[in-house]
C-alpha cells in the first residue's frame, strides 16, 4: 500500500510549484501532484542511470505496442501501434495539430473556461481563437456546466480545429457519450479537425469510466487526433513525453512530418517512464491514487459546504483540480490575489482559463490530506476576516 499521506519535501528541488512563491506560501496551483511516482517507473529510471550512457533514444515499436495495448486493455479500443506518435508533451502536441489544421482564417475552437495553454495557441501561431463558452448551471452551491450548442455550431464554422479537453481542466467534467457524439458530428460536417486532449483520462474519481472520443466510431477516429500521456496520471510531467494517436494514415503522415520539422525529440527519460507507466505494472498504485484523490475531493467538497458560506464549486468526476466560485462571498477583486495576500495560499487565477473565470479559482488537491486541510484552513480564516 502506498502512503499518500507522506509527501516528499519539494522545496529543495527545482519545482515550479514550490519555488514560484515565497516560502511562507502554500502552493496549490500548477497541475502536478506532490506524490512520488510509482516504483516501477523509478526502478526503470534507476536502471537507465546505472547503465550510465544517456544517448539519443527513440520511441521503439515496443513502446508503441505498449501504448496500443493499454488502449485495448482500458477501453477495448483497437489501434495499430503505428498509429502512435511520440511527442514532447501534450501542449506541443496540440500546437503541432494547430499548425496543420489552422490558418489565419480558420482558427481554434475551445470551450471556455478551459486550460490556460489552450488560450496560447492563437498567440503562438497567429490564428483566431473561437470561444464556445460552456453554460453554467447553479444547483444550490454546486456548479454544473453544459454545452451551448448554438454557440458551438456558430463558432465551428470559422474553425480549422476543435480542441476538446476531456476530462475537462479546470472543471473536472467527463463529457457524456451523447455530447461527444454531437460535438464530433458537428465538427465532421464542417470539416473541422478534432483534437481531443485526454491527458486526465486515467485520473478518474469514484467509479467513473471514460471512453476516448475516437473510439466512438471509425468515422470520428478518422477525423481525430487523440492526445494522451503518462504525465498527469503517474506524476511525471517534468519528463515531457506524450503520444498522439492518429488512426488515419494520411493525417498521421502530415502530423509526423510537422513533428519532424520541429525536431521534437522526446527525452530518453520520458520514453523510459512511459514504457513503465503504461505497462500495467503501475496500475495497483494508480487504483490507490484514485481512491486517495476521491477522498481528497470529498474532503474539499465537504469542507467548502461546511466552512465556506456562499462559495460554489464543481464536483469533479476526474482530475485533481477543484473549480471554486467566490463571486458571492464579498471578496473585492481577484480571489487569487486575495488568498495569496491574506491566506498565503497560491491557487490558480480563474481568469487564465477565460473571461468566465472571473471571481473563480482552480485549486490543486493532488497533495496530502494534511496539506490540503492546511490550505483550506488558511483560506477559511481569510474569508472569515472579510
Site stretch for ligand PLP (CB under 6 A), options 84-92, 187-195, 292-300, 343-351: 84-92
91 contacts ligand PLP (rule: CB under 6 A): yes
Which of 29, 99, 109, 197 binds ligand PLP (CB under 6 A)? It is 197
Where do we find the cell 483560506? 379
- 138: Cα within 13 Å, side-chain hemisphere: 10
Element (H, E) at 64: helix 61-75
Strand partners, 76: none
59 contacts ligand PLP (rule: CB under 6 A): no
115 contacts ligand PLP (rule: CB under 6 A): yes
Q: How far apart are CB 229 and ligand PLP at their closest, in Å?
A: 5
Site stretch for ligand PLP (CB under 6 A), options 20-28, 39-47, 83-91, 297-305: 83-91
Whether the CB-CB separation of 136 and 143 falls below 8 Å is answered with yes
90 contacts ligand PLP (rule: CB under 6 A): yes
Measure CA 262 to chain center.
23
Binding mask of the shown chain, residues 281 to 320, with x at each position contacting ligand PLP by CB under 6 A? ----------------------------------------
Select from 319, 316, 317, 315 the least CA-distant residue to 289.
319
Phi-psi region of 250 (alpha: psi -120 to 50; beta: other; left: phi over 0): alpha
Nearer to ligand PLP, 199 or 286 (CB): 199
SS3 state at 119: helix
Q: Is the four-CA dihedral 59, 246, 229, 108 of positive or negative sign? A: positive
Select from 50, 78, 70 the least CA-distant residue to 282.
70
With 0-12 / 13-18 / 19 or more C-beta atoms within 10 angstroms meaning exposed / middle / buried, residue 250 is: exposed
Which of 242, 359, 366, 375 binds ligand PLP (CB under 6 A)? It is 242
Select from 245, 345, 281 the least CA-distant residue to 41.
281
40 contacts ligand PLP (rule: CB under 6 A): no
Strand partners, 66: none
Q: In terms of DSSP bridges, do strands 159-165 and 142-146 run parallel, antiparallel, or are they unpaired?
A: unpaired
Residue nearest to ligand PLP (CB): 89
31 contacts ligand PLP (rule: CB under 6 A): yes
Which of 231, 233, 364, 368 binds ligand PLP (CB under 6 A)? It is 231
Measure CA 189 to chain center.
27
Size of the site for ligand PLP (CB under 6 A): 13
Whether the CB-CB separation of 111 and 134 falls below 8 Å is answered with yes
Phi-psi region of 87 (alpha: psi -120 to 50; beta: other; left: phi over 0): beta
Q: How far apart are CB 180 and ligand PLP at their closest, in Å?
A: 16
266 contacts ligand PLP (rule: CB under 6 A): no
Nearer to ligand PLP, 169 or 367 (CB): 169
Q: How far apart are CB 238 and ligand PLP at their closest, in Å?
A: 9
List C-alpha distances in Å: 64 to 60, 69, 213, 232, 245. Answer: 7, 9, 20, 19, 10
184 contacts ligand PLP (rule: CB under 6 A): no
363 contacts ligand PLP (rule: CB under 6 A): no
18 contacts ligand PLP (rule: CB under 6 A): no
Q: How far apart are CB 243 and ligand PLP at their closest, in Å?
A: 10
213 contacts ligand PLP (rule: CB under 6 A): no
Q: How far apart are CB 261 and ligand PLP at their closest, in Å?
A: 19
229 contacts ligand PLP (rule: CB under 6 A): yes
Q: How far apart are CB 274 and ligand PLP at their closest, in Å?
A: 11
Nearer to ligand PLP, 143 or 266 (CB): 266
Binding to ligand PLP, residues 126-165 (CB under 6 A): 165
Nearer to ligand PLP, 286 or 383 (CB): 286
Cα separation, 195 vs 227, whole angstroms:
7
Q: How far apart are CB 242 and ligand PLP at their closest, in Å?
A: 5
SS3 state at 108: strand
89 contacts ligand PLP (rule: CB under 6 A): yes
Q: What is the helix, strand, coil percentage profile of the chain, to 5?
A: 45, 15, 40
> What is the DSSP-derived secondary structure letter of residue 318?
B
Instruction: Using CB under 6 A, list all residues that contact ligand PLP.
Output: 31, 89-91, 115, 165, 169, 197, 199, 229, 231, 237, 242
Amino acid at each position: 500500500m502506498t502512503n499518500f499521506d507522506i509527501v516528499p519535501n519539494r522545496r529543495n528541488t527545482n519545482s515550479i510549484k514550490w519555488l514560484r512563491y515565497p516560502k511562507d506560501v502554500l502552493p496549490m496551483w500548477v497541475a502536478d501532484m506532490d506524490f512520488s511516482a510509482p516504483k516501477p517507473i523509478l526502478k526503470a529510471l534507476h536502471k537507465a542511470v546505472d547503465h550510465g550512457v544517456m544517448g539519443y533514444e527513440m520511441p521503439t515499436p515496443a513502446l508503441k505496442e505498449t501504448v496500443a495495448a493499454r488502449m485495448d486493455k482500458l477501453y477495448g479500443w483497437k489501434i495499430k501501434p503505428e498509429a502512435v506518435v511520440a511527442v514532447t508533451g501534450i501542449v506541443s502536441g496540440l500546437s503541432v495539430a494547430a499548425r496543420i489544421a489552422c490558418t489565419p482564417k480558420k482558427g481554434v475552437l475551445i470551450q471556455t473556461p478551459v486550460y490556460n495553454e489552450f488560450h496560447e495557441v492563437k498567440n503562438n501561431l497567429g490564428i483566431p481563437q473561437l470561444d464556445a463558452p460552456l453554460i453554467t448551471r447553479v444547483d444550490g452551491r454546486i456548479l454544473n456546466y453544459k454545452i451551448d450548442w448554438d454557440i458551438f455550431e456558430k463558432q465551428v464554422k470559422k474553425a480549422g480545429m476543435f480542441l476538446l479537453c476531456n476530462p475537462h481542466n479546470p472543471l473536472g467534467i467527463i463529457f457524456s457519450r451523447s455530447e461527444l457524439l454531437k460535438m464530433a458530428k458537428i465538427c465532421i460536417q464542417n470539416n473541422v479537425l478534432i483534437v481531443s486532449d485526454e491527458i486526465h483520462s486515467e485520473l478518474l474519481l469514484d467509479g467513473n469510466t471514460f471512453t476516448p472520443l475516437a473510439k466512438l466510431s471509425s468515422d470520428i477516429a478518422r477525423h481525430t487526433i487523440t492526445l494522451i500521456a503518462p504525465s498527469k496520471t503517474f506524476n511525471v510531467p517534468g519528463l515531457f513525453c506524450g503520444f498522439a494517436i492518429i488512426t488515419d494514415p494520411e493525417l498521421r503522415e502530415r502530423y509526423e512530418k510537422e513533428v519532424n520539422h520541429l525536431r521534437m525529440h522526446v527525452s530518453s527519460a520520458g520514453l523510459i517512464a512511459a514504457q513503465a507507466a503504461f505497462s500495467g505494472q503501475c496500475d495497483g498504485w494508480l487504483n490507490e491514487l484514485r481512491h486517495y484523490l476521491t477522498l481528497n475531493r470529498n474532503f474539499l467538497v465537504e469542507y467548502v459546504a461546511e466552512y465556506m458560506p456562499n462559495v460554489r464549486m464543481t464536483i469533479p468526476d476526474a482530475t485533481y483540480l477543484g473549480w471554486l466560485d467566490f463571486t458571492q462571498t464579498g471578496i473585492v477583486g481577484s480571489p487569487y490575489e486575495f488568498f495569496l495576500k491574506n491566506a498565503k495560499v497560491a491557487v490558480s487565477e480563474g481568469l487564465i482559463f477565460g473571461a468566465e473565470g472571473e471571481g473563480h479559482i482552480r485549486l490543486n488537491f493532488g497533495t496530502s490530506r494534511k496539506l490540503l486541510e492546511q490550505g483550506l484552513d488558511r483560506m477559511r480564516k481569510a474569508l472569515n476576516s472579510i
